[in-house]
Amino acid sequence: MKKGVIWVTIYLLVLLWSLINPKDMFTWWLEAIPALLALPILFFSRKSFPLTPLAYGLILVHCCVLFVGARYTYAEVPLFDWLAQLMGSERNNYDKVGHFAQGFIPVILAREIFIRKQVIQIGAWCQFLAVCFVLAFSAFYELIEWWVAIATGENAEAFLGTQGYVWDTQSDMFLALIGGVCGVLLLSSLHNKQIATKMAVNNHLV
């Protein structure tokens, strides 16, 4: 219970901070919608399908990443403006952090659902399919960005965050792929232990 309160407190504090004088309110909604949807989904699924602590923690990190991008737009996050100047670049690369997270975090959610719903057992195929999922998810998100751009015209430029980079879409998906691979390589061992604990508790309750 205490962990849940801490989770919600951090989420709400970052959300409120993000809402304080955002760069553009239309862009804020476009960028923040996934994070806004996460809270009710996690709340209503907390009893029927409670996630592992690792998954909950990663989701919170991802929400914070989205709220930061929503406040400033992904092309104007101050820290990454400073880093760009330091490296002699004109491009703010915060969007690349977001797309790396788009692979690193959902890959853990994918493998958790695969394993706990007994779609596939722990092993190489589970890792492969989880990475395939995040790559497909990233590609679908790029399609959403395209549809929003068509529907709203120039108003979606900040949402797209291409900053004139012709290979932006491809590099976004590539970073999601890298994030997914890093996620399974770095976190699978810890994740497997937490899944085993969660499944043991569920079996005991049944």
Q: Residues 165-182: pLDDT tens digits? A: 667 788 889 999 999 999
Instruction: With a cut of 70, say whether residue 204 has pLDDT above it.
Output: no
The overall average pLDDT reported for the chain is 87
Return the minimum-mean-pLDDT range out of 28-42, 96-110, 156-170.
156-170
Instruction: With a cut of 80, say whether residue 74 has pLDDT above it.
Output: yes
Q: How confident is the model at residue 52 (pLDDT cuts 50, 70, 90)?
A: very high
Q: Residues 55-71: pLDDT tens digits? A: 999 999 999 999 999 99
Instruction: With a cut of 70, say whether residue 191 has pLDDT above it.
Output: yes
Burial bucket for residue 27 (CB in 10 Å: 0-12, 13-18, 19+): buried
Sorted by sequence, the CB contacts under 8 Å of residue 133 that are 6+ apart come out as 106, 107, 110
Sorted by sequence, the CB contacts under 8 Å of residue 52 that are 6+ apart come out as 112, 191, 194, 195, 197, 198
pLDDT computed for residue 153 by the predictor: 66
Q: What percent of the chain clears pLDDT 70, i.e. is strictly above it?
A: 88
Instruction: With a cut of 80, say whether residue 49 has pLDDT above it.
Output: yes
pLDDT computed for residue 206 by the predictor: 45
